[in-house]
Structure 1
Amino acid sequence: MSDLFAPEGGYAVRILDLSGANGSEPVETITGFPSLEHANAFARRYVRDSIERCRAGGAAPDAVLAAWHMFGEDAEITPAADQAWRSANELADFAQNPARDAEERNWRILDPRADDDDDEDEDEEDEA
């Protein structure tokens, strides 16, 4: 997919608290994804990590999903696009198959805010 028509400012990922503590409002909205592929990868890893945090040792897939629906966090991409990743497409697989390695869960490396933090660190070093 071409990002020629990416929205101004890039894509955003809304993080939704499934416990309902935040109502229907997102817990946070992360902006600045320059491409849909970047937003998709972030959202997928974020939900994968949330599923794994809800996985009790030896829990059956249906118990993992039940825990995630009660305590987990979902991610959705805005503006919604036909090629936007949706958790519903992979939830059963995530519940059935635990993550093979830490990389599958490492959404932080894809977080566009990390670039901002790196810039701030460089500014602080320049001032020293």
Structure 2
Amino acid sequence: MSDLFAPPGGWRVRILDLSGASEDNVTEEVGGFPTLMQANAFARRYVRDSVERCRAAGASAREVLDAWFAFGEDAEVVDAGEAGWRSNTELQDFADRPAAEEERDWRALDPRRDPGLDLE
């Protein structure tokens, strides 16, 4: 697949609740990404933010991962196949290294955001 052949309505990112709070673990699907690159970047930042929300002061990387698998949220690009970003490729790095603010800013890429709104 390529960005030239986005599905109708754009690419979608599925948010998964790892705590098992819902039956199928799907919290929501965010649609309308015009490119696969944007959908992948959103998914990556969303997971990066989730990992950081699970990071306790002084926690080891293992403890961060344990907390994320128990309480965090994962994200996947729907129907992107091998071209879709996968959390397992970067999860250890996320746990090892705290994120900079920009690495966590999934809201800046959210297609649901009204560009006329100033959220700052």
Distance (Å, rounded) in 1 between the aligned partners of 2:25 and 2:97: 30
* Aligned amino acid, residue 84 of structure 1: G
Range that drifts further, 80-89 or 30-39: 80-89
Aligned residue number for residue 105 of structure 1: 104
Contact in 1 for aligned 2:15/2:73 (Cα 8 Å): yes
Following TM superposition, where does structure 1 have runs of at least 4 consecutive aligned residues deviating by more than 4 angstroms? Answer: none
Distance (Å, rounded) in 2 between the aligned partners of 1:21 and 1:113: 24
Identity %: 62
Range that drifts further, 77-86 or 47-56: 77-86
Distance (Å, rounded) in 1 between the aligned partners of 2:34 and 2:101: 24
Cα shift at 1:41: 0.3
Aligned residue number for residue 38 of structure 1: 38
Report 1:44-123 matches (<5 A): 44-99=44-99, 101-114=100-113, 117-118=114-115
* Aligned amino acid, residue 112 of structure 1: P
Secondary structure (helix, strand or coil) at the match of 1:55 reads coil
Aligned residue number for residue 12 of structure 1: 12
TM-score, scaled to structure 1: 0.86
* Aligned amino acid, residue 89 of structure 1: T
**Higher Cα Rg, which structure:** 1
TM-score, scaled to structure 2: 0.92
Report how many residues are paired.
117
Distance (Å, rounded) in 1 between the aligned partners of 2:105 and 2:48: 9
Change (3 A) 1:28 1:11: same
Contact in 1 for aligned 2:18/2:25 (Cα 8 Å): no
Distance (Å, rounded) in 2 between the aligned partners of 1:45 and 1:3: 19
Deviation string, structure 1 residues 4-35 (Cα, Å, up to 9, x no partner): 12211111001111000012141110000111
Cα shift at 1:2: 4.2
RMSD after superposition:
1.4
